[in-house]
Structure 1
Amino acid sequence: MILSGTEIDRMVQASSIVIEPYHKACLEPNSYGFHLGADLIEYHGGAIDPHLELQFRRHTIGDDGFLFIPGRFYLGHTYEVIGGIDYASELYANLSTAMCGVFIQTSAPLGHTGAVIRWTLEITVAQAVRLYPRMRIGKVCFWENYGEIGAYGGRYTGSSSVVPSRIIEDRAL
């Protein structure tokens, strides 16, 4: 069951959901509007090989914004630290962002229960778009768990900014 905005607010106050910094004005009927952090990663160096270290450059989005170019793939992060102590979370682009051809979290929107971090965002654009730090870019919703809850202890635990893929840790069986 998805939580309503008023229930998200109640769970933030009860410390069952973490959103820092938290602004009640960002609550929506079934979600909370989150903002883009200033750090980006862009892969380079040709094809990605899961058995080799990834080659990437770091960028910082300044106050004048950063021009995202079609055909490139960027990793950004949420400005807020977000997560459910007792709830699973799911991140999406907001409609205004998507209507400009900006896509985030198209393949990995699920946040496991207990993962309280600055979320790494998968960002692609359909046309050149300038984005700014701390602009509202997406929304997070929270889901009630059914069954026994296993706390998140994955390899992205404690992320405080954007992190590159750790695909090198995925070895074939």
Structure 2
Amino acid sequence: MILTGPEIAQAVAAGDLHIDDFDPARLEPNSYGFRLGPELLVYDRETLDSRRAPGSRSLAMGAGGVVLEPGRFYLGSTMEAMGSPHYAATLYARRSVSTLGVWIQFSAPLGHSGAVFPWTLEITVASPVRLYPGMLIGKLAFWAMQGSPLLYDGKYTGSTAAVASRLSEDLVTVPTDGGA
């Protein structure tokens, strides 16, 4: 069952839900609005290898924002650390952001119970668009769970900003000759 805005506020007040810098003005009917953090990550190689950690560089956004270009992939983060050991969460773009041609999440919208940190955003744009640090960019919905929770304790635990892919940590060497 999805939490309503008032239930999100109650869960934060009770300490069952963590949202840094909680602001009741950002409560929505069934979600909480979050802001874009001040830095973006950009991969520094044209071709990435899933068996190797990708190199990236940080791109700080000043008060004037930064223009994102089509054909580039950016990693951003939420300003807020959010999550809960009692609820699962899903991340969505704000409609006004997505209808501007900005996508903030492609493949990993589920936040497991126990994961409490700034969320990494997978950002791409359809046309050049200027984004600003601190702008409302998305919303997080929280869901009651059925059964005993299994708390997240994965490789992104302890994140404090956008995190590049850590897929290489999961991969084992696969023979390239096709043999066994």
TM over 0.5: yes
Partner of 1:29: 29
Partner of 1:122: 122
- Classify the secondary structure of the residue corresponding to 1:120: strand
Partner of 1:43: 43
Percent of pairs identical after alignment? Answer: 50
Residues in 1 aligned to 2:55 and 2:151: alpha-carbon distance in whole angstroms? 31
* Counterpart check, 1:75 vs 2:75: yes
- Classify the secondary structure of the residue corresponding to 1:78: strand
Partner of 1:170: 170
Partner of 1:139: 139
Partner of 1:92: 92
Residues in 1 aligned to 2:55 and 2:157: alpha-carbon distance in whole angstroms? 22
Residues in 2 aligned to 1:46 and 1:78: alpha-carbon distance in whole angstroms? 26
Q: Report the CA distance between 1:85 and its aligned residue.
A: 2.3
- Classify the secondary structure of the residue corresponding to 1:34: strand
TM-score by length of 2: 0.93
Residues in 1 aligned to 2:31 and 2:142: alpha-carbon distance in whole angstroms? 7
Q: Deviations over 1:101-123 (max 9, x none)?
A: 00011210000001000111100
Residues in 2 aligned to 1:90 and 1:71: alpha-carbon distance in whole angstroms? 26
Partner of 2:111: 111
Q: Report the CA distance between 1:55 and its aligned residue.
A: 1.9
8 A Cα contact 1:18 1:85, kept in partner: no
Q: Could you list the runs of 5+ residues in structure 1 that have no partner in the other structure?
A: none
Q: Deviations over 1:112-162 (max 9, x none)?
A: 001000111100111111000000000000011112210110100011111
Partner of 1:149: 149
Q: Report the CA distance between 1:52 and its aligned residue.
A: 1.9
Q: Could you list the runs of 5+ residues in structure 2 that have no partner in the other structure?
A: 175-180
Q: Report the CA distance between 1:51 and its aligned residue.
A: 1.4
CA-atom RMSD in angstroms: 1.1
- Classify the secondary structure of the residue corresponding to 2:6: helix
- Classify the secondary structure of the residue corresponding to 1:118: strand
- Classify the secondary structure of the residue corresponding to 1:122: strand
Count the aligned residue pairs: 173
- Classify the secondary structure of the residue corresponding to 2:147: coil
Counterpart amino acid of residue 21 in structure 2: P
Partner of 1:60: 60
Q: Report the CA distance between 1:53 and its aligned residue.
A: 2.7
